[in-house]
């Protein structure tokens, strides 16, 4: 590993986390020294690396990677495994931050680890980077063990590069020098370094900025320099730690798309950590949803979105509305939940066998997936408007849900309301026309969008 990466690792670990024990620190220092005197130690040879940055490799990768989901699935599922995390445990004192996490990442694949703050995402990334050691299980890279409780390959010998949340650029070095640093550590000759840095400058649209210092760049430009610096040494695996969280909303949207396109074009394997579902969706071939140190779900973004494996995963992926009720069998034999907003058929997404009628359950759904009744863009129903709620139960035909609006806000292209069920359950709703507090609205919820869980 280059001294830069090592220094960055030091900086990152001291800045963001309480320190690991001393022996790990000194292991890291020793490793940094070994890495900087041994250019062959960082990364793998081009022959092994599918991530060639030459135009021809890139072009080929574009045509392979730009297809539909089926293409992505078949490409990725037939590629060899690059990273294997097997039953990894990490404890801090008595606290288990990772409780037996397993996953695999294939060559050229982008996996996004998604989860709320504190669920163990950064800890997992640190273990892969070599900044911390697992207490159980093992991690393999290209089939070789790089970490277990009994030992670990130092970070600089793993061939992985990390893009940090705060970019961690050298403030006193120009853009060119920042990007070139890792290549200099590898003792590459000057003309080769220039060619590689220029290629990276072009890929990241940084031409013309090469002589600036990082403080003279915008946040988005600094972020692109950090990515350029990480890809230029052709790592086997790129680690991204909340890479966009310091950017404003517009730049985040722009950059996540740019990164997704660039990494796919170059065929770079990426292990990406974020708390932002939209960023994960924009980037990932597969999503790993974490909760409290364990894997909640590991599947394609579509699968996770359509059938979140838990109530927590459902909330994380936008199904913010929840109504409790009792399971029942609908007239067509499908599973339904009877709630005080109405009875809807749905899909059981939880663990184990489908629940039986009479068991308690919970419905989760996204405001966007409710369908307003024909003829009233706001969702008002004629039965509801005629006052059929009687002050107790709001009227709802089978398959629909009824609510009374508490508060409505204008969102530009639509109205959003906070609404209540008869017994005070709350939901967020979207309307194509204005709604007023006190109005009763009724929406259909398609069966596929009604996510059902046991409570």
Q: Which residues bind ligand ADP (CB under 6 A)?
A: 17-18, 92, 95, 97, 115, 117-123
Per-residue burial over 363-376, b = 16 or more CB atoms within 10 Å of its CB, e = otherwise: bbbbbebbebbeeb
| Placement of tokens 């009479």 in the chain | 358
**Least distance in Å: CB of 312 to ligand ADP?**
13
Nearer to ligand ADP, 183 or 290 (CB): 290
Nearer to ligand ADP, 131 or 183 (CB): 131
**Least distance in Å: CB of 118 to ligand ADP?**
4
Nearer to ligand ADP, 117 or 150 (CB): 117
Other beta carbons within 10 angstroms of residue 353's beta carbon come to 7
| Placement of tokens 């990466």 in the chain | 5
Cβ pair 3, 186 in contact under 8 A? no
**Least distance in Å: CB of 91 to ligand ADP?**
9
From 351, 321, 346, select the one nearest 336 (Cα to Cα): 346
Residue 6: which H helix or E strand, with range?
A: helix 3-16
**Least distance in Å: CB of 296 to ligand ADP?**
12
CA distances from 233 to 22, 40, 166, 242 (A): 29, 12, 20, 21
How many residues are listed for the chain in this entry?
455
Nearer to ligand ADP, 105 or 445 (CB): 105
Angle made by CA atoms 417, 423, 427, in degrees to the nearest 5: 25
Integer Cα distance of 122 and 327 in angstroms: 38
Burial bucket for residue 140 (CB in 10 Å: 0-12, 13-18, 19+): middle
Cβ pair 261, 110 in contact under 8 A? no
Nearer to ligand ADP, 101 or 401 (CB): 101
**Least distance in Å: CB of 238 to ligand ADP?**
18
Nearer to ligand ADP, 17 or 306 (CB): 17
Nearer to ligand ADP, 123 or 421 (CB): 123
Nearer to ligand ADP, 50 or 100 (CB): 100
What does the DSSP 8-state code read for residue 321? E
**Least distance in Å: CB of 344 to ligand ADP?**
34
**Least distance in Å: CB of 20 to ligand ADP?**
7
Per-residue burial over 68-102, b = 16 or more CB atoms within 10 Å of its CB, e = otherwise: eeeebeebbeebeebbbbbebbbeeeeebbbbebe
**Least distance in Å: CB of 408 to ligand ADP?**
35
């Amino acid at each position: 590993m280059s001294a830069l990466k090592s220094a960055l690792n030091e900086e990152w670990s001291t800045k963001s986390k309480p320190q690991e024990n001393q022996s790990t620190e000194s292991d890291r220092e020793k490793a940094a020294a070994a890495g900087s005197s041994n250019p062959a130690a960082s990364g793998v040879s081009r022959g092994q690396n599918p991530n060639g940055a030459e135009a021809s490799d890139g072009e080929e990768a574009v045509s392979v990677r730009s297809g539909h989901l089926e293409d992505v699935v078949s490409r990725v599922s037939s590629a060899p495994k690059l990273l294997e995390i097997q039953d990894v445990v990490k404890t801090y004192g008595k606290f288990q931050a990772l409780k037996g996490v397993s996953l695999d990442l294939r060559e050229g694949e982008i996996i996004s680890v998604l989860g709320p703050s504190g669920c163990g995402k950064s800890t997992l990334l640190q273990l892969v980077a070599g900044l911390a050691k697992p207490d159980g299980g093992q991690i393999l890279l290209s089939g070789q063990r790089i970490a277990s409780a009994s030992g670990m390959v130092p970070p600089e010998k793993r061939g992985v590069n990390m893009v940090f949340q705060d970019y961690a650029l050298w403030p006193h070095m120009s853009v060119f020098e920042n990007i070139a640093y890792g290549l200099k550590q590898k003792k590459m000759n000057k003309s080769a370094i220039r060619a590689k840095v220029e290629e990276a400058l072009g890929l990241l649209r940084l031409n013309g900025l090469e002589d600036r210092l990082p403080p003279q760049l915008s946040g988005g430009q600094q972020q692109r320099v950090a990515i350029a610096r990480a890809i230029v040494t052709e790592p086997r695996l790129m680690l991204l730690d909340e890479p966009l969280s310091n950017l404003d909303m517009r730049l985040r949207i722009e950059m996540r798309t740019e990164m997704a396109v660039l990494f796919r074009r170059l065929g770079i394997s990426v292990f990406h950590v974020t708390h932002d579902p939209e960023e994960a969706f924009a980037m990932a071939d597969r999503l790993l949803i974490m909760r409290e140190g364990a894997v909640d779900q590991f599947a394609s973004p579509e699968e996770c979105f359509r059938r979140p494996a838990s109530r927590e995963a459902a909330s994380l992926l936008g199904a913010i509305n929840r109504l409790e009720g009792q399971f029942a069998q609908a007239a067509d034999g499908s599973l339904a939940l009877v709630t005080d907003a109405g009875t809807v058929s749905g899909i059981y997404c939880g663990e184990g066998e489908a629940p039986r009628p009479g068991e308690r359950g919970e419905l989760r759904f996204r405001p966007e997936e409710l369908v307003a009744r024909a003829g009233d863009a706001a969702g008002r129903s004629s039965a509801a408007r005629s006052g059929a709620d009687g002050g107790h139960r709001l009227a709802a035909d089978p398959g629909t849900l009824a609510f009374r609006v508490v508060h409505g806000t204008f969102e530009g292209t639509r109205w959003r309301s906070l609404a209540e069920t008869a017994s005070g359950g709350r939901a967020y709703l979207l309307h194509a026309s204005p709604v007023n507090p006190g109005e009763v609205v009724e929406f259909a919820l398609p069966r596929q969008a009604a996510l059902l869980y046991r409570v």
